[in-house]
Amino acid sequence: MGGSFVLHRIGVATATIVAIVMLNFVLFRLMPGSPERVILHGTPRVTPELLEATRERWGLNDPLFPDQFVKYVSATVQGDLGYSFVARGQTVTAVLGQRIWPTILLFGLGEIVAIAVGLALGAYSGWRRGGVIDYIGNGVSLLLYATPYFLLGMVLLLLFGVALRWFPTFGMTTAGASYDGPLDALADLGLHLALPLATVALGLIGQYAIVMRSSIVETLSEDYITTARAMGLRDGRILRAHAVPNALLPTVSLVAINLGYVVAGAITVEVVFNWPGLGTLTVEALQARDYPVLQGVFLLLSISVVLANLLADLVYGLLDPRVRT
């Protein structure tokens, strides 16, 4: 891979992250009401002296630029995102740290399942274009695409959690349960994971299948497929060795671009199932107007998405020499 291509991509990603950090600063300054009142929120009898002392203590008397901005940037770079308004005494970084793992577990697994099933479904229906699977698969994919994640979650919860009672519907583990061993605990986690995971995967499968299908259809009209057919290769081999690898390319970038939307879905699915991840944290922070936590979530999610996109760009460059410009 060309060095300049890699450097350029990394440069763009870095610039984007810098812009995100700056936007975060601006957002905080946009908020109405002076910051010292926010800090002193709930403190009885605020005297002018106390107000002044607070302003001095938090550097609010310094000019916005460069003093406050530089302070903010250097704190952010060191991972200091301030304190949560709600979880008193806890740093935003600590709060985010507690809630990130359930989200990674849920969405990491969800993505894997969706990529595997979605791409297979898309490849098959594109291959057998006009067939029964294609017809049904396309309709279902479009419907799933039109369904908000949380609605899907509510339906699954009603069907499999309440009507059939197959799965628990609340949280990550059974409250107050004592386990006989690690396997027992894992089984409990798995049961709790089933419905939210199914929701995430189903929500994504539609999109991946649609893109993979059109990508396969496009690839099949390429000359090298005709050549492969002319060489007398068997269908299965043409699909696996020639069509799928080439059709995968556009899907790689789609998966990355999609991450931004997945994040939105993540937030709502977690709310439906009370999954204790970043999504429920976001909604709690939203309801309590816990701005530092909200900003931390924005910073964390945006930077993750940018990095994932960078990774996808580099992988794409590795797979397809044509884009290395």
Partner 1 sequence: MSAGVLTPDQLQRERWRLRLRATRDFAGRYAKRPDGMVGALILLAFGVLAAAPEAFVGPLQTAVSAHGGRLDPPTAGFPLGTDEIGRDILNLTVHGARVSIVIGLLATVITVLIGAVVGIVAGFVGGRLDGALMRVTDFFLVIPTFVLALILTPIIRDIVGSGSTEVFGIRMTLIVIVVVIGITSWSSTARIIRGQTLSLRERAFVDRARVVGAGPGAIMRRHILPNVVNLIVANAVLVFAGAVLTETTLSFVGLGDPFQPSWGQLLEAARSVGAPGLGAWWYFAPPGASIVLVVFAFTLVGAALDDLLNPKRRARR
Count Cβ atoms within 10 A of the Cβ of residue 243 and give its class: 0-12 exposed, 13-18 middle, 19 or more buried. Answer: buried
Candidate ranges 105-113, 129-137, 243-251, 253-261; the one touching partner 1 (CB under 8 A) = 253-261
Residue 81 CA to residue 34 CA, distance in Å, equals: 19
| Interaction residues for partner 1, span 273-312 (CB under 8 A) | 282-283, 286-287, 289, 291, 294-295, 297-298, 301-302, 305-306, 309
Q: Which is nearer to partner 1, 7 or 142 (CB)?
A: 142
Q: Which is nearer to partner 1, 118 or 270 (CB)?
A: 270
Q: Which is nearer to partner 1, 233 or 311 (CB)?
A: 311
Binding-site member from 10, 64, 133, 162 for partner 1 (CB under 8 A): 162
| Residues sharing a CB contact under 8 Å with residue 19, sequence separation 6 or more, in sequence order | none
Distances (CA, A) of 294 to 85, 86, 121, 299: 11, 12, 37, 9
Candidate ranges 111-119, 179-187, 243-251, 257-265; the one touching partner 1 (CB under 8 A) = 257-265
Q: Which is nearer to partner 1, 53 or 158 (CB)?
A: 158
Does residue 58 interact with partner 1 by CB under 8 A?
no
Residue 315 CA to residue 101 CA, distance in Å, equals: 25
Count Cβ atoms within 10 A of the Cβ of residue 239 and give its class: 0-12 exposed, 13-18 middle, 19 or more buried. Answer: buried
Amino acid at 95: V
Q: Which is nearer to partner 1, 23 or 249 (CB)?
A: 23
Write the DSSP symbol of residue 276: T
Buried b (16+ CB within 10 A) or exposed e, 80-103: ebbbbbebeeebbbebbeebbebb
Q: Which is nearer to partner 1, 138 or 251 (CB)?
A: 138
Tokens of 53: 């002392």
Q: Which residues is 91 bridged to in the sheet?
A: 83
Does residue 120 interact with partner 1 by CB under 8 A?
no
Instruction: Please report how close the Cβ of residue 181 comes to partner 1 at its closest, in angstroms.
Output: 30
Binding-site member from 239, 267, 277, 317 for partner 1 (CB under 8 A): 267
Candidate ranges 15-23, 74-82, 96-104, 241-249; the one touching partner 1 (CB under 8 A) = 15-23
| Residues sharing a CB contact under 8 Å with residue 160, sequence separation 6 or more, in sequence order | 166, 167, 194, 195
Binding-site member from 114, 238, 271, 281 for partner 1 (CB under 8 A): 271
Dmax (CA) for the chain in angstroms is 88
Write the DSSP symbol of residue 159: I
Binding-site member from 211, 263, 275, 292 for partner 1 (CB under 8 A): 263
Q: Distance between alpha carbon 303 and the CA centroid of its chain, in Å?
A: 11
Determine the 3-state secondary structure of 11 from DSSP. helix
| Residues sharing a CB contact under 8 Å with residue 279, sequence separation 6 or more, in sequence order | 103, 266, 267, 268, 269, 270, 271
Residue 126 · residue 210 · CB < 8 Å: no
Per-residue contact string for residues 30-49; x = within reach of partner 1 by CB under 8 A: xxxx----------------
Does residue 27 interact with partner 1 by CB under 8 A?
yes
Instruction: Please report how close the Cβ of residue 217 comes to partner 1 at its closest, in angstroms.
Output: 11
Does residue 260 interact with partner 1 by CB under 8 A?
yes
Q: Which residues bind partner 1 (CB under 8 A)?
A: 12, 15-16, 19-20, 23, 27, 30-33, 142-143, 145-148, 150-151, 154-155, 157-158, 161-163, 169, 257, 259-261, 263-264, 267-268, 271-272, 282-283, 286-287, 289, 291, 294-295, 297-298, 301-302, 305-306, 309
